[in-house]
Amino acid sequence: MTDMLTLDAFEEASAKVKEVTQKTELVESPYFSQATGNRVFFKPENMQRTGAYKVRGAYYKISTLTPEELDRGLITASAGNHAQGVAYAATRAGAKSVVVMPTTTPLIKVERTKQYGAEVVLHGDVYDEACDHALKLAEEHGYTFIHPFNDPVVATGQGTIAMEIVQELPLVDTILVPVGGGGLACGVSTFAKLYNPKIRVIGVEPEGAASLTAALEASRPVKLPSANTIADGTAVLEVGDEVFPYLEQNLDEVITVPDEELIVAFLDMVENHKMIVENSGLLTVAALKHLPATNKRVVSILSGGNMDVITMSSVVQHGLIQRDRIFTVSVLLPDRPGMLVRVANAIAEQNGNVIKLEHNQFVSTNRNAAVELRVTIEAYGTEHKQQIIDALRAAGFEPHASQTML
């Protein structure tokens, strides 16, 4: 394995990718440092050209191709970020590019890939189905296939992230890296261990697509029956067999994260760092609270920021609900003048902000006995929510709280 991803190869790749990458300096996070008991830094590849780290591996791989391989045209399969990297790098190299993307790929990633010059083909529900179709097209048309992760050359390009981290923070203790197919984790962990074996490198994958965890348990890549996660960029059924030996050797630990934790992580990043990070990139943010609070220097790699507005809106709403910053209470009250004012006053006295009111007169056949008032309220959090509920109860009502989307 050592003749493929070497320090010399990483150095060569680092010089090459600088031709197309933007400098993504580490961002220290006082908020997450205080919340986790470690000194937390972010490597903001969400700010990278094409919106993700993938341009590194794609550009480095394409730079190693022969003129004949470029002339045949390039093809790849991707859930979005590698697609944009290949499209961008291929256009710079003057080569035709075809990208097969799952039909579930967010619209913004599809459109951006086209804008970078690629022909886009939508096929399959997950990456693995798109990849099978891309390999079929490559055979039919003679295209050169650029694998998004199962290629040591691509992984070397991705590993330049780790080189930049240690250059900027030489005493880094822990690096958190997202895992989908394993290319990024392969490059990052291999360089880190070559540079300093004492650096802990922890892979983070979604609970609903934990292909690396399954592979480590079996000591070989295994195919999951399904991938169910909002982290679409890491929804891969099987980790790459070419990169797996490096992952098995160089990763110190793998953490799995449920989707619910990604939702609140998105909210935290927007509010505390004013950064848009896509769900796959949030894996390492959510993983921070799973680390022991030992005042270590921890770097979380934010792998990408390509999220469509509809998804963003949904994640924000779910995050606010999970944090009890939006909730709904229903109260039964007689249908007579002044009752609505009493409810509104009780909420206002606790500085609750009413977002929506629903007045249901048909909850009972006896309107004088009871009508239902459903009030959706904005609060500061769980404690404030409880204060509002207690105030309604003190005013003579029996509020029933529930979670609801706007």
- What value does the mean pLDDT take over residues 359-371? 65
Neighbouring residues of 129: CB distance < 8 A, sequence distance ≥ 6: 102, 123
Above 60 in pLDDT, residue 32? yes
Dihedral through CA 85, CA 86, CA 87, CA 90, nearest 10? 120
223 is catalytic: no
Secondary structure (DSSP) of 287-331: GGGGS--S--EEEEEE-B----HHHHHHHHHHHHHHTTSEEEEEE
User: What pLDDT is recorded for position 365?
Assistant: 54
Q: How far is CA 108 from the centre of its chain?
A: 15
Q: What is the pTM of this model?
A: 0.87
The CA distance from 195 to 173, in Å, is 12
**Residue 212: pLDDT band with limits 50, 70, 90:** very high
- pLDDT (tens digit per residue) in 231-270: 988 988 999 999 999 999 999 999 999 999 999 999 999 9
Secondary structure (DSSP) of 208-229: GG-HHHHHHHHTS----S----
**Residue 2: pLDDT band with limits 50, 70, 90:** very low
Which is catalytic among the residues 54, 109, 193, 385? 54
Q: Is 239 helix (H, G, I), strand (E, B) or coil?
A: coil
- What value does the mean pLDDT take over residues 303-310? 88
Above 90 in pLDDT, residue 109? no
- What value does the mean pLDDT take over residues 58-68? 95
Which residue, chain included where needed, has tokens 């009972």? 364
Above 70 in pLDDT, residue 216? yes
User: What pLDDT is recorded for position 337?
Assistant: 82
Domains and CATH numbers, the chain: 7-54+153-319 (3.40.50.1100), 56-145 (3.40.50.1100), 324-402 (3.30.70.260)
Residue pair 192/166 in contact by the 8 Å Cβ criterion: yes
The CA distance from 74 to 301, in Å, is 28
- pLDDT (tens digit per residue) in 192-211: 999 999 999 999 999 999 99
Which is catalytic among the residues 97, 189, 303, 330? 303
The CA distance from 83 to 308, in Å, is 16
211 is catalytic: no
**Residue 362: pLDDT band with limits 50, 70, 90:** low
Above 80 in pLDDT, residue 404? no
Above 70 in pLDDT, residue 366? no
- What value does the mean pLDDT take over residues 276-302? 97
The CA distance from 182 to 143, in Å, is 24
User: What pLDDT is recorded for position 290?
Assistant: 97
The proportion of the chain whose per-residue pLDDT surpasses 90, expressed as a percent, equals 77
- What value does the mean pLDDT take over residues 84-95? 94
- pLDDT (tens digit per residue) in 115-171: 999 999 999 988 889 999 999 999 999 999 999 999 999 999 999 999 999 999 999
Above 50 in pLDDT, residue 345? yes
Report which of residues 389 and 308 the model is more confident about: 389
Dihedral through CA 129, CA 60, CA 275, CA 321, nearest 10? 20
